[in-house]
Chains A and B, each alone.
Chain A
Amino acid sequence: MIEVPRLQLSGVCKAFGANVVLDGLDLELAKGESVVVIGASGTGKSVMLKCILGLLRPERGSIRIDGEEVVGLRGAERERVLTKFGMLFQSAALFDSISIWENVAFGLIEGAGMDPEQARAIAIDKLAKVGLGADMAEQDPARLSGGMRKRVGLARAIATEPDIIFFDEPTTGLDPIMGDVINNLIVECVRDLGATTLTITHDMSSARTIADRVAMLYGGQIIWAGRVDEIDSCGNPFVDQFIHGREEGPFELEVT
């Protein structure tokens, strides 16, 4: 029997007016797999995540989660599907009207209906995992630095121990040591919790640490996908240019 993929995108198209962002994107994630998507800035990586979560609606294509078609789901159906997900937004998107621990515990209290005392204990535990002490718990998110916000966002994404976790640039803005802590945390989520993760990053060393597979997004499609140890010898000129950060290559950069 063939195992149903945890997440399967086929032919997904999304445009904003005349700006075609996703143009027939195909991607599959098996259960317990960690996939990293790389691609130039503005190619639609964040848009892809938002389409999967239903925050944006693709014009065409199919998105299946555990075999279930989710494009166009609404209301209670959508909420049920979303319980499977955790998401770290690129901008962290912390709620600034509530404290840090309430941010982390939000999905537990509002989503899962957990008792606040219990949720608070879990939140403080998750904050510790991203290197933030219990003394931060009561503070206002507005006072945090960019990297700290990222880490709180990460703690919030993993707090409910979801099946599928998306990390949109988890290590951007972090120092190398903290970046490594976060990389290990993502690996731990996959290994210990059995989560399936989809991570977007520009940081190749981070990609090498956390990825089972790497996929490259270009021109609205996945132009290359393969195991992380194949990436150096893949022979794809786009991937080659990207991972080595060279200016010369097939990418058309609009710099003058």
Chain B
Amino acid sequence: MNNPLAVVGRFFLNFLAAVGRLAVFAGRSLAATFSPPFYFRLIGQQMLVIGYYSLPVVGLTALFTGAVLALQIFLGSSRFGAESAVPNIVVVGLTRELGPVLAGLMLGGRVGAAIAAELGTMRVTEQIDALITLQTNPFKYLVAPRLVAATLTTPLLVLVADIIGVMGGYLVGIHRLDFNSMVYLKNTYDFLEAIDVESGLVKAAVFGFLIALMGCYHGFHSKGGAQGVGRATTDAVVSSLILILISNYFVTEAFFSQ
């Protein structure tokens, strides 16, 4: 019982079992996503819930991140007399990293929690069982629409976040740091490469997928009343945030390493 090796071993086995369960769940979800029937109405509804209603949160995050980025980079680069680099560092930093990652983290909190709580409640109130008895596959009816909607809308949200973030930097740039408006915009535009935006959007799609997957997985497997749903919600948020940060590294590697 108290053998530390046994504790480590048990922990490791539990971890492997959890990874296996998650892989099976992901496999079933993907199979359900790409086979009929397709619930287009539900996909649309989820896009609205996940994407549109997240705009204010993501927009505010991006605005202030862009603003503070401009401020900090200005302070840092003025030590080398390189203040003119502010616009292009802001735009590259936002599109490559901060836009997708911060939007992903906000969505992980907002959307991941909401999905886990909704599906968790459906699980503990036997609504998922009821779906099955009414010959409706819950993977197709519940999981697939959320996965599709999150994977498609997160890149759109990040695109909006990029634009709003650059605007935040621009506002600080011209009002607080005495940049010329035309010069700021020209520098932003000239230094931006397609791959900066593309890599950010791919990241966004990956993050959106992971958030919905974690929300669905933990919601689906919640048990035992309100407390169980609460735990599922917490687990969904924590695991999606961790996976976002881990996958962020690997997508970056895939895009930018030689």
Please list the residues of chain A having a beta carbon within 8 angstroms of any beta carbon in chain B.
50, 53-55, 79, 82-83, 85-87, 89, 91, 93-97, 106-107, 110-111, 156
CB distance A93 to B126 under 8 Å?
Answer: yes
Output the nearest chain A residue to B45 by Cβ-Cβ distance: A97
Give the total number of A-B pairs whose CB atoms are below 8 A apart: 49
The chain A residue with its CB closest to the CB of B137 is A79
Q: Which of B9-17, B109-117, B128-136 contacts A (4 or more CB under 8 A)?
A: B128-136
User: Within the complex, what minimum Cβ distance (angstroms) separates B48 from chain A?
Assistant: 13
Given contacts A79-B135, A107-B135, A110-B136, contact A87 B130 (CB under 8 A): yes
- Do A95 and B130 have beta carbons less than 8 Å apart? yes
- For the A-B complex with A85-B133, A95-B130 known, give 16 more contacts whose Cβ atoms are closer than 8 Å: A53-B129, A53-B132, A53-B133, A82-B132, A82-B135, A87-B130, A89-B126, A89-B129, A93-B125, A93-B129, A95-B122, A106-B134, A106-B136, A107-B134, A111-B135, A156-B134
Main secondary structure of the interface of A (DSSP, over half): mixed
User: B180 in the interface, Cβ–Cβ < 8 Å?
Assistant: no
Question: Which residues B131-155 have CB closer than 8 A to chain A?
Answer: 131-137, 141
Is the beta-carbon distance between B129 and A110 smaller than 8 angstroms? no
B181 within 8 A of A: no
Interface residues of B (CB under 8 A from A): 118, 122, 125-127, 129-137, 141
Q: Which of B125, B127, B132 contacts A55 (CB 8 A)?
A: B132
A107: nearest chain-B partner, CB-CB: B134
In the complex, chain B residues whose CB is within 8 Å of the CB of A110: 134-136, 141
When the two chains form their complex, are residues A50 and B135 in contact, meaning their CB atoms are under 8 A apart?
no
Main secondary structure of the interface of B (DSSP, over half): helix
**Shortest distance in angstroms between B150's beta carbon and chain A's nearest beta carbon?**
17
Q: Chain B residues with Cβ under 8 A from A91's Cβ?
A: 125-126
CA distance A111 to B132 in the complex (A): 10
19 interchain pairs, CB-CB under 8 A: A53-B132, A55-B132, A55-B133, A82-B132, A83-B135, A86-B133, A87-B133, A89-B126, A89-B130, A91-B125, A94-B127, A95-B127, A96-B127, A106-B134, A106-B136, A110-B134, A110-B136, A110-B141, A156-B134
A164 CA to B1 CA in the complex, in Å? 50
B39 to chain A: closest residue by CB: A110
Q: Which residues of chain B come closer than 8 Å to A50, judged between CB atoms?
A: 129
State in angstroms the CA–CA spacing of A94 and B132 once bound together: 13
5 tightest A-B CB contacts, nearest first: A93-B126, A111-B135, A93-B130, A107-B134, A87-B133
Q: How far is the CA of A86 from the CA of B135 in the complex (A)?
A: 10
CB distance from B42 to the nearest CB of A (A): 10
CB closest residue in chain B, given A90:
B126
In the assembled complex, how far is the CB of residue A168 from the closest CB belonging to chain B, in whole angstroms?
10
Set of chain A residues within 8 Å of B133, measured between Cβ atoms: 53, 55, 82, 85-87
Residues of A within 8 A of B137 (CB): 79
Inter-chain CA distance A107–B129, complex, in Å, is: 13
